[in-house]
Amino acid sequence: MSNEIREVEQQAAAFREGFARIEAEIGKVIVGHRETVHETLLCLFCGGHVLLEGVPGLGKTLLVKALARCLELAFSRIQFTPDLMPADIIGTNVVVEDPEGRRQFQFQRGPLFGQVILADEVNRATPKTQSALLEGMQELTVTVGRTQHPLGRPFFVLATQNPIEMEGTYPLPEAQLDRFFFKLKVRYPSRAELGEIVDRTTTVAEESLARVLSGPLVEKYKGLVRAVPVASHVRDHVARLTLMTHPDSSEAPASVRKYVRYGSSPRGAQALVLAAKTEALLANRFHVSVEDIHRVAYPALRHRLILSFEGEAEGIDTDTIIGEVLAAAMRGETAAREALA
């Protein structure tokens, strides 16, 4: 075994250990939600951002704060409200006076200049303020006037939102939704989990969480994830899945043609591949399987399918449509293999 291969295997083993340690640390304060924690960490090591949706009180904010405590990264919290302005997020130029009495403009950084950003109840702010996040999420820069200010790395936005049916919420624009790597649905706890939550939150004891990973290590593991190879047939499967979410595709299932107005963008395909690469590494494999792709399909695609008026009126869940797309894709591949046999 060459030294290069041995080094990669050691890095992969360290990555799996770090991933498991963060999950264990967060588990000290978060009851249940194992899948949500796992998928949030996938986003972190893929270099994406995550949107957490659920009714108030399910622990979305606590999960983000616990993750920040496990990482040696600068943490900022932005509480989105209807009167929040873009300058409140990105910062603004203010007039300052130097020791000689001369006045000049100086940029005062806003809370977006952190590394782990909690955008709490993001859909309670107006669309103008919501869109202030876009440049930072996509370009890792903030522009004020004619000056571009770089953001720190890693830069990880975790936005929480209440279901859009709740009073006082504004739907996120499609362009902003597409910037999120995953959309995760935070479910209501079970009876046993609810009892454990009550026990943990009505006592005086507070768990202290250990710092597990530094910023440079997170960046290093992001590079490791991207180095995982993808076979041509898996890449083609991802392309096929993505195109099948579009109603004008010849292979689109009937539910897509009836209920979907726009399908997934290419960012959806990128999210499928990167998240599947991370899953492969966690399974101690250096290749991506079709099963890995299907495992991450729901969080990667559910917010990228824009329903038609009929789909909205009938209350269609995009998860149901994604399930039909996955099933149709597997049937098509099975038929193709049988034809070649």
23-69, pLDDT tens digit by residue? Answer: 988 888 888 788 889 999 999 999 999 998 887 777 788 888 888 88
| For residue 3, pLDDT beyond 90 | no
pLDDT of residue 339: 65
Helix axes 266-282, 3-26, angle to 10 degrees: 100
248 pLDDT tier (thresholds 50, 70, 90): very high
Give the predicted TM-score (pTM) of the model.
Answer: 0.88
- Distance between CA atoms of residues 276 and 284, nearest Å: 12
Q: Cβ neighbours of residue 251 under 8 Å, at least 6 residues apart?
A: 240, 243, 244, 328, 332
Contact status, residue 51 vs residue 40, Cβ threshold 8 Å: no
Give pLDDT tens digits for 184-195: 988 887 788 788
- Say if strands 141-144 and 147-150 run parallel, antiparallel, or are unpaired: antiparallel
Say if strands 182-185 and 50-53 run parallel, antiparallel, or are unpaired. Answer: parallel
Measured CA to CA, the distance from residue 76 to residue 137 in angstroms comes to 14
Q: 261-272, pLDDT tens digit by residue?
A: 999 999 999 999
Residues of the chain with pLDDT > 70, as a percent, come to 94
pLDDT at 215: 86
Residue 201 has pLDDT above 70, yes or no: yes
Q: Report the distance separating Cα 25 and Cα 5, nearest Å.
A: 30
Give the pLDDT of residue 53: 87
How far is residue 146 from each of residues 85, 93, 94, 130, 142, measured CA to CA in Å?
Answer: 19, 11, 15, 21, 10
Residue 166: the pLDDT is 56
60-112 pLDDT, tens digit per residue, is 888 888 888 888 888 888 988 888 888 888 888 787 777 777 777 777 888 88
- pLDDT of residue 252 exceeding 80: yes
pLDDT in tens, 274-328: 999 999 999 999 999 999 999 999 999 999 999 999 998 988 999 999 999 999 9
Residue 336 has pLDDT above 70, yes or no: no
pLDDT in tens, 232-243: 999 999 999 999
Exposed / middle / buried, residue 245 (Cβ in 10 Å: 0-12, 13-18, 19+): buried
Question: Residue 251: pLDDT above 80?
Answer: yes
Q: Which domains does the chain have, with CATH numbers?
A: 1-82+111-227 (3.40.50.300), 228-341 (1.10.8.80)
C-alpha to C-alpha distance for 86 and 256, rounded to whole angstroms: 36
| Cα 272 from Cα 157, distance rounded (Å) | 19
- Mean pLDDT, the chain, integer: 86
Question: Which residue in this structure is represented by tokens 């910023």?
Answer: 215
89-93 long-range contacts, CB within 8 A, separation 24+:
89/129, 89/132, 89/133, 90/132, 90/136, 90/142, 90/144, 91/142, 91/144, 91/149, 92/144, 93/144, 93/145
Quick count: other Cβ atoms within 10 Å of Cβ 314? 11
Give CA–CA dist 67/199, Å, rounded: 21
Question: CA angle, corner 223, sides to 219 and 226, nearest 5?
Answer: 140
The DSSP letter of residue 122 is G
154: cis peptide before it, omega within 30°? yes
